[in-house]
Amino acid sequence: MDILLSVLGFLLTIGILVAFHEYGHFWVARRLGVRVLTYSLGFGRAIYSTRRGPESIEYRVGLFPLGGYVRMLDEREGPVDPDERHRAFNRQSLKVRAAIVAAGPAANVILALLFWWLMFMVGTQGVLPKVGEIEGDSRLAEAGLEVGDVIRAVDGEPVADLSDLRLTILNGAIEQRRLPLTVERDDRQREMVLDLRGLDPLGGEIGRQPIDILERVGYEPWRAPAHAEIAEVQPDSPAVAANLAAGDRIVAVEGREYRDPWALIEAIGARAGEPTRLDIESEAGRREVMVTPRATEVDGEMVGRIGVALTARPLDSAAAESMFLVQRAGPIEAMGLAVERSWEMTTLTVSVFHRLLTGEASIANLSGPVAIADYAGKSLLLGLSTFLGFLALVSLSLAILNLLPIPMLDGGHLLLYAIEALKGSPVGAAFEEVFARIGILLLGMLMVVVFYNDIARLMH
């Protein structure tokens, strides 16, 4: 099911974003009098093709879905009827050609705004930025935060949920700043400062998922006290040997009681191969059992596992529910929020690209089609609002990526037009051919890197 959702999410994501990007080129070209020959989603052999309209434009779907193209009448690609030369792309003015090329990224920016607008109207689901356990040497601990604090604002800007907190802290880390925090504790607000100087915001290793910026500053979400209830027992596991069953609640490990299922999992994980006493509660009452956690490799380390799937059963349902937020906005407010989110993500994405190009950030942070498919499938599971936000983010990223001055991308063509504007004439055919070959090489190297990163993460 996960694989099917990933494939479905990937096809939906790429299909929607590429279709709109190419339609930007298509729509502007036709409005400016350039004849369009082909509108294609995907590359390679056509798995579907049809011709429509008085000009018999070919609409096709290629075998390989990683992109698309719009083919226009162009004398550089073959003979053109003299009566049609005025409609050839290469005969157009510099402004017309630049407008057609820029229309693709512009369409993706518009689409991102539309998806964020819809997302804010549908309603965003978030988690209250309430602080859980804090490591003593973390940056949050140095700032003076304590368990139970709620972060209400960062640098004077309100923080509604963890997504807002993550974005503002990531921006602060990229800018290497000291961020003022407004923290609510015991119904009173306090001012603190989170020092992000010297923190690498995009640190990572090839083959591993990048570490979340919140984790890097020592943040863990607050969890309502809960019992660890067994939802499922795996066959031939230590839990079976100990007569554990679905519905049993694990309340203590070696005599120490736990009201945090995640902490309980860590306690059992630290006892790989050691006989361990568990206190169990069930409808029949309370009992003690002995179980020996089986040593299992997780992220390169051996941890103890007893072979059960746990679910958190909150002791206070109201406290647990208070952590989850749903926010909805009207059409006008939602558009303002969409513009704000688009600007925030644009500046963040440009900063990340800059750090990658200057070597300040590791190429381990790059992701490709496999990661997009994975995130697309997960966002589908989380609901319409999450999927709309994911589409918006990828659409905006696609626009920015295409505007980079790299040959074969829209930004590469715009760079050639800028050179043409400065020198007063088009660049030579030989230069343009070499420029294109460089682009193919760079894009090929990029694809190798992102595919390697994706596959290495999956293997890990």
Mark 314-348 as b/e (b = at least 16 C-beta within 10 Å). beeeeebeebeeeeebeeeebbebbeebbeebbee
Q: Do residues 372 and 455 touch, judged by C-beta distance below 8 A?
A: no
Look at phi and psi of residue 125 and say left if phi exceeds 0, alpha if psi is from -120 to 50, else beta.
beta
Q: Which residue has the tokens 């690609």?
A: 77
Contacts of 380 (CB under 8 A, 6+ apart): 5, 8, 9, 12, 387
Is 184 catalytic? The answer is no
> Measuring CA to CA, which residue among 105, 34, 112 is closest to residue 411?
105
Cα gap 444→450, rounded to integer Å:
10
Task: Dig out the tokens for 406 from the structure.
Answer: 């790299």
Q: How far apart are CA 393 and CA 400, in angstroms?
A: 11
* Rounded Cα distance, 145 and 143, in Å: 6
Cβ–Cβ < 8 Å for 353, 404: yes
Structure tokens at 372: 């997009």
The pair of three-digit structure tokens given for residue 184, joined into one six-digit string: 């609510």
The Cα–Cα gap between 131 and 147 comes to 5
Catalytic residue among 22, 84, 220, 257: 22
* Residues designated as active site: 22
